[in-house]
Amino acid sequence: MMAAERNAQLFDLETKAKIKFHSMSEDIQFWKWISLKTLALVTPTAVYRWSFGDTSEPVKIFERHTNMSECQIINLRASSDEKWMVLVGIFTQVGNLVKVETTSEHGKTKKHAVDILTMILL
C-alpha cells in the first residue's frame, strides 16, 4: 500500500502491478492492514475499510470523535471479525502527553473517547 496525501494505491509486489487506486476526499493521516485483504484508512474525520479482494471503494466504518481532531494517530486495531475497532491517538495538553482511544462497533453509531493515560513531559 502506498499513500500520498489523498491517493491510496495497492500494488502486487511480486508482479509489480497496481491492483487498485482510490483518491480520497480528505488526506490519509494513517493506514494499517487489519486483515490479509483489508486495509484501514484514517482521515481527519473518519475511518474507512478498503478490501482488495473485490472492486469496491473504501467504505466509511465510523466517524472520528471530535476530541481526537488534534491527535496524532499512532495505532488502529480491529477484532478478528472486524466488528470492533479501536483508534489510538496522542496529543499534548498543558505540557502533558495524553493518549486517547475511540472504540466503535461496526454498524452502530455509538462511540466514545476516553483519556486513558497522562504522562508529564520533561
Write out the chain's pLDDT in tens, 122 residues.
Answer: 555 588 888 888 899 888 888 999 999 999 999 998 899 999 999 999 998 877 789 999 988 888 788 889 999 999 888 888 888 888 887 777 777 777 777 666 444 555 555 444 43
pTM: 0.80
User: What's the start-to-end Cα distance of the chain, in Å?
Assistant: 36
How many independent structural domains does the chain possess? Answer: 1
User: Which residue range forms the structural domain that includes residue 32?
Assistant: 2-120
